[in-house]
């Protein structure tokens, strides 16, 4: 169960993460960090060349870890790039890797003094993670991080469509104290 004071810091919205005005947005990246499809491609297109140039210097990111760059032309000052797992069957470390992607993104935000950040539904697109399972892992990992660190004031999950928003709402409704 998530305490009510922690729940006040978690928001769920349907929308386009590239338009978010939180200090940082999280990119569901691939290991190369050089752009791709879905959220990753949209962030690179909207953010412009500065993001790609920083990503080239970083040189990639292993699954479950996170790296930070400028927000380029985005409203967000920073982009935190994380790599979620490709879903096979849930028995190959996928839950832990997905939780790590959320935890490490959050911790990188804390290290950089970021008080508000927005996450997409990591790994639920072409990586095939079942939406409700991913929502449970994401919300659980972020709630624990919020309990451990009070400097972050807002974590917003920006879900692309109504189906994703409904799944995240259902999970969040089920974990209220």
Catalytic residues: 40
Number of other CB atoms surrounding residue 1 within 10 Å: 10
Report the candidate in 49, 9, 59 with the shortest Cα–Cα distance to residue 29: 59
Alpha carbon separation from 166 to 13, 82, 118, 137, 176 (Å, rounded): 10, 24, 17, 15, 16
For residue 27, report the phi and psi dihedrals to the nearest 5 degrees. -100, 125
Cα–Cα distance measured from residue 111 to residue 145, given in angstroms and rounded to the nearest whole number:
13
């Amino acid at each position: 169960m998530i305490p009510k004071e922690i729940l006040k810091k978690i928001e769920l919205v349907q929308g386009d993460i590239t338009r978010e005005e939180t200090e940082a947005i999280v990119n569901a990246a691939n290991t190369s960090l050089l752009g791709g499809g879905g959220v990753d491609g949209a962030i690179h297109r909207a953010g412009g060349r500065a993001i790609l140039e920083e990503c080239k210097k970083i040189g990639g990111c292993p699954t479950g870890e996170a790296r930070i760059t400028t927000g380029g032309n985005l409203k967000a000052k920073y982009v935190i790039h994380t790599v979620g797992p490709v879903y096979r069957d849930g028995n190959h470390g996928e839950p832990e890797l997905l939780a790590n992607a959320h935890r490490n993104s959050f911790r990188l935000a804390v290290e950089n003094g970021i008080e508000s950040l927005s996450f997409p539904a990591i790994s639920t697109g072409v990586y095939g993670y079942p939406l409700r399972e991913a929502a449970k892992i994401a919300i659980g990992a972020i709630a624990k991080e919020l309990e451990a660190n009070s400097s972050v004031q807002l974590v917003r999950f920006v879900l692309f469509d109504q189906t994703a928003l409904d799944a995240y709402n259902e999970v969040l409704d089920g974990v209220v104290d």
